[in-house]
Amino acid sequence: MRLTRVYSPEPLASGNHLKLSKDLSHYLANVIRLKAGDAVALFNAVYGEFHGVISDVKKNVLTVTLGEQQRTALLPDQQAMRLELGLGLSKGDRMDYGVQKSVELGVTLITPVNCEYGDVRFKQASRIKNKLRHWRRIAVSAAEQCGRLDVPTVAEPLDLADWLEQQSAETRLCFDPRGAERLGDTPLANSIALLIGPEGGLSAAEIELSVEAAFVPTTLGPRVLRTETAPVAALAVIQHCLGH
């Protein structure tokens, strides 16, 4: 049976008896039906990964007794690579898929971006809060599944101009089927910012705005990819070029 692997932000150390959060306890006990005596793995980027055993279940709170450390914490040089993604806001499953697969492919930070051709607009703060909670849960789940120690940040949505203004990455790429540069031919630094538009793509004005912010219009080939497919293709090529 596959060992259940879950993210926990608390300090982790061998011998600790760690009470899990209410939400995590509910997931383990009621969704995947774990019980006292079952093995789990807990991880985070600061303390690494530990195998443990559920030692107590009381009032919907699970206690895990941690055993040996299986993986050490991420070292500074392992965190040096920065892959930031500005992803045009899109509907429902498309955005969910983009977030999930970007986490699996090593992105560091995801920012949903309001674009001219996007069909999604959040006018109520409560809707933004709910969506962020949803996307962040997807990011945690993807990190658990793919074996990462760190969980990428999903930032609050920004207008494109605001997102561009705050970029400091050495390599800056905006993806457009008409781009003159081909991904794979472009030199890549240790900090990379990617801009991918929504369902309708980036407008000519948005491409121009990104160029003014030192982004290079870059193509992924002759085919027009969907907004949820483009980050998968782009990140896979980047990871290959970087030897990851």
Question: For 90-122, what is each residue's pLDDT tens digit?
Answer: 887 899 999 999 999 999 999 999 998 877 666
| pLDDT value of residue 175 | 93
Average pLDDT over all residues of the chain: 90
Question: For 9-45, what is each residue's pLDDT tens digit?
Answer: 999 999 999 999 988 999 998 888 899 999 999 999 9
d(CA 125, CA 114): 15
| pLDDT value of residue 129 | 85
Question: For 37-72, what is each residue's pLDDT tens digit?
Answer: 999 999 999 999 999 999 988 878 999 999 999 999
d(CA 43, CA 51): 9
Long-range pairs for 191-195 at CB < 8 Å and ≥24 separation?
Answer: 191/81, 191/82, 191/84, 192/82, 192/83, 192/84, 192/238, 193/84, 193/85, 193/86, 193/167, 193/169, 194/83, 194/84, 194/85, 194/86, 194/231, 194/234, 194/235, 195/86, 195/113, 195/160, 195/163, 195/164
Percent of the chain's residues with pLDDT above 90: 67
Least confident of 156-160, 173-177, 186-190, 232-236: 186-190
In the chain, residues under CATH classification 3.40.1280.10 are 77-241
4-71: CATH topology: Ribosomal Protein L25; Chain P (2.40.240)
Helix, strand, coil tally for the chain in percent (to 5): 30, 30, 40
Q: Which CATH architecture has domain 77-241?
A: 3-Layer(aba) Sandwich (3.40)
The whole-model pTM stands at 0.90
In the chain, residues under CATH classification 2.40.240.20 are 4-71
